Amino acid sequence: MDLLKWRLLSWGLVKNLLRYKDSKNWHYRFYDDHGKRRTISLQTDDEAVAIQKARAFDAGAAIRRIQNIDLRTGGIQKTIGQYLATAATRRKNPMGKEAAKTAGAVLRRFCQEANVVTPQEITPARLDTSLAAYEKNGRSQQTIRMYAAYVKTFLNWVYKSGHLASNALESYDLPEEKPIGRKNWLRKAEVAKVIGSVEPKYSANAKPTTIEKARQAAEDLKFILYCGFHAGLRRREISMAKVFWFDLDHGLIHAQNMPEAGYTLKDEDNRTIDMSDEHQSGNTGTSSTEVVWVALKN
């Protein structure tokens, strides 16, 4: 009994048990979701049983609170879904799939953490509190600004759709972006040295199939380095690149959306990139033509 009481003390159960002067049963005191103090009878005069009942009551209350939050926030979740669907089909600057994923995640998380049930409850104070938490957790200023923009744009859409009498964030100032200079960069000579150092790695007694795999891996790595260093392609763009992107005769790379493959560029606009002289001429030791076609032939 003493051990059980000691274990439950940290949960605040024992200290909230009480027995009224004219009652033989134990009672449990707690605070409801509105902050009001309540007391219930545990219907037992056995202290050990009372502790177990209080623990079960607390566990059930926690589950009910979660269920209530889910029920209460269902409406705002539906509104967020409608906003994303509308944004994806608008004529001017439609929202892409990746952007919609990010926007949806940010909005849903904000509503959950800020306990927002309806659009009317989105206020500058709640948004400030949410952004302050992100800043405390080490999020970059650019990310914080983007999160604020998602919430502000969403509420503006709700207002313009006629579901709000006023827009609480209409004059809300987005956080300033702090310019951050690039810290991780290489000089051209170092880039050439990195690409030129890529060689197949295999043991002296390696089988022909192992040697071929090593050569292919080296060519793949050179392709990745060429595209990253000399063309500025993003990681996802490199992994999705196709042969028809590369116009080697004119030294151009045409990064393209490929809806048939479910792929959209980050900026959602096709773009043409000039190959650097080194990339086009192969001055780094390997022909760029060979690198591209070997890497993409499959």
Note the pTM of the prediction, 2 decimals: 0.47
Please tell me the distance from the alpha carbon of residue 229 to that of residue 288, in angstroms, as a whole number.
13
Comparing 8 with 170, which gets the higher pLDDT?
170
SS (H, E, C) the chain: CHHHHHHHHCCCCHHHEECCCCCCCCEEEEECCCCCEEEEECCCCCHHHHHHHHHHHHHHHHHHHHHHHHHHHHHHHHHHHHHHHHHHHCCCCCCCHHHHHHHHHHHHHHHHHCCCCCHHHCCHHHHHHHHHHHHHCCCCHHHHHHHHHHHHHHHHHHHHCCCCCCCCCCCCCCCCCCCCCCCCCCCHHHHHHHHHCCCCCCCCCCCHHHHHHHHHHHHHHHHHHHHHHHHCCCHHHHHHCCHHHEECCCCEEEECCEHHHCECCCCCCCEEEECCHHHHHCCCCCCHHHHHHHHHCC
Q: Supply the pLDDT for residue 151.
A: 95
pLDDT > 90 fraction of the chain, expressed in percent and rounded = 21
Comparing 235 with 72, which gets the higher pLDDT?
235
Q: Supply the pLDDT for residue 125.
A: 94
- pLDDT, average across residues 137-145: 87
Residue 217 has pLDDT above 80, yes or no: yes
* Closest by CA position to 80, among listed 142, 170, 152, 158: 158
223 within 8 A of 233, measured Cβ to Cβ: no
pLDDT digits (tens, 9 = 90+) for 8-26: 443 455 567 888 878 888 8
Q: Supply the pLDDT for residue 152.
A: 95
Q: Supply the pLDDT for residue 68.
A: 47
22-46 per-residue burial string, b: 16 or more CB within 10 A, e: under 16: eeeebbbebeeeeeeeeeeebeeee
Task: Tell me which of 67-76, 101-110, 185-194 is least confident.
Answer: 67-76
Position of tokens 């709640």? 126
231 within 8 A of 279, measured Cβ to Cβ: yes
Comparing 169 with 183, which gets the higher pLDDT?
169
**262 — pLDDT class (breaks 50, 70, 90):** confident
- pLDDT, average across residues 78-89: 91
Q: Supply the pLDDT for residue 50.
A: 81
- The domains of the chain are located at 2-65, 73-160, 188-296
Average predicted confidence (pLDDT) for the chain: 79
Q: Supply the pLDDT for residue 183.
A: 63
Task: Report which listed range, 35-39, 53-57, 240-244, is most confident.
Answer: 240-244
pLDDT digits (tens, 9 = 90+) for 60-78: 655 555 444 443 445 788 8
- pLDDT, average across residues 203-217: 90
